[in-house]
Amino acid sequence: MNRTEKQNTGEDIVSTLGLDSSPGKKAFWKRWYVWVGLAVLVTIILLFWLRGQNGNGLNYKTENPTRGSLVVTVTATGNLEPTNQVEVGSELSGIVESVAVDYNDVVKVGQVLARLDTSKLKAQVLQSRAAVESARANVLQAQATLKVSESDLQRLLKVRELSGGKVPSQQDVDTAEATLERAKADVSSAKAAVSQAQATLDENETDLGKAAILSPINGVVLERSVEPGQTVAASLQAPVLFTLAEDLTQMELQVDVDEADVGQVKEGQEANFTVDAYPDNSFPARITQVRYGSEEVDGVVTYKAVLGVNNADLLLRPGMTATADIVVEKVDNALLIPNAALRYSPPVTEKKSTRQSGSLISSLFPRPPHSETTKREESSAEKKTQTVWVLKGGQPVSVAIATGLTEGIHTEVLQGDIDTQTPLIVDTVSAK
């Protein structure tokens, strides 16, 4: 590269960088930089001034009260049971000869469910009948002996009368009288033996009748725990062979109510319950009984409540686990507010002094705010007076209200200067 080319290249660089600008252009760019810097500074000051005017610079999330029905419920769990469930067993021991019913069979009163082998029972009945006949024969024999004794005594007395009391001797007369009394006792004993033998016969005949296990109710067979050929051993407790439900169209739901809620549960209250088999269905029920006896499981005390259930479509089955919502209170057209509004408290920040608020340095470099949340004291259950915060002019304002029922999400307002158009603060969203 020659000297002329180097000189041209240098001039191009100077031109590109603007180093060959005239003094007028340099002054223009200096003024432009100054004005831009001033604008940025004014913008920063204005932003901090607006922040001070906005107070704490917080955004609030609000919800308006609504009008509607408030339903207070008590939740309890339990199991479905038939209104009348009977366990059928056997008082006798023996071998099952036959079983006449199966699961889900409909049975009538007196219908044979199963039969035991009756060979031994029939033999006992025959033996007892023979004993009765023998006892009756003994009665006849004793009665004949009684007649002989009476005749002997009458003969002796007649002889004594005819002999003028010379014969027979008094000892012979006393012996005849004693023999007569013994004959009378033998007759009574023989009659008692007949009664005893008849009682044994009746017992054996009853056992023979019990060999046929009959249904005591009209219902449905829920369980069958016996098979033909099985040996049944009845000792201190009769073994359960069948479980029958009287009427599955009417059932009852037995739920465990916590001791903290049992004071609100009363007979006649409406309820709805669900079961796992039909999660999308809700079944109606009504409380028919609240029992006084308590039950304690793992330190938790509960009380049994019984709900009547109409099961006309037979969807529900005994033993199903159900979760019931019992309606204990209901209010229509109530003014309702979210419970989040009752829990909310606005944060309180440290106030700035007049000197700090007027200082440019303090505006540009503010102190970290000392924020601390003030917690409202919870009102007592007796007063039911609480405080909510309303957004007015961008600032939270406290309003005292009297509250009523609550179902955990909404609370009824009984008294207070709020309506459905009042924006209630429920949360602080973010700082600007």
Residue type, 38: L
At the topology level, CATH places domain 118-210 in Helix Hairpins (1.10.287)
Q: What are the residues whose beta carbons fall under 8 Å from the beta carbon of 44, sequence distance 6 or more?
A: 364
Question: Could you report the per-residue pLDDT of 215-231, keeping only the tens digit for each?
Answer: 999 999 999 999 999 99
Distance CA 316, CA 281 (A): 11
- Whether the CB-CB separation of 309 and 316 falls below 8 Å is answered with yes
Sheet-wide strand order for 240-245: 85-89, 240-245, 219-224, 106-107
Architecture of domain 73-83+245-332 in this structure: Beta Barrel (2.40)
Q: Which of 68, 70, 64 is nearest to 337 (CA)?
A: 64
- Domain residue spans of the chain: 3-51, 57-65+335-431, 73-83+245-332, 90-113+214-244, 118-210
For residue 371, what are its two tokens? 């924020």
For the chain, the average pLDDT equals 84
375: Cα separation from own chain's centroid: 37
The sheet with strand 231-232 has its strands ordered as 212-214, 112-116, 94-99, 231-232
Percent of the chain past pLDDT 70, that is, above it, reads 82
pLDDT tens, per residue, the chain with 432 residues: 544 454 455 455 445 445 455 555 667 777 777 777 778 787 877 766 655 554 555 788 899 999 999 999 999 999 999 999 999 999 899 999 999 999 999 999 999 999 999 999 999 999 999 999 999 999 999 999 999 999 999 998 999 888 888 888 889 889 999 999 999 999 999 999 999 999 999 999 999 999 999 999 999 999 999 999 999 988 777 789 999 999 899 999 999 999 999 999 999 999 999 999 999 999 999 999 999 999 998 899 999 999 999 999 999 999 999 999 999 999 999 999 999 999 998 876 544 444 444 444 454 445 544 444 334 444 444 447 899 999 888 888 999 999 998 888 999 999 988 999 999 999 987 654
* Type of residue found at 135: A
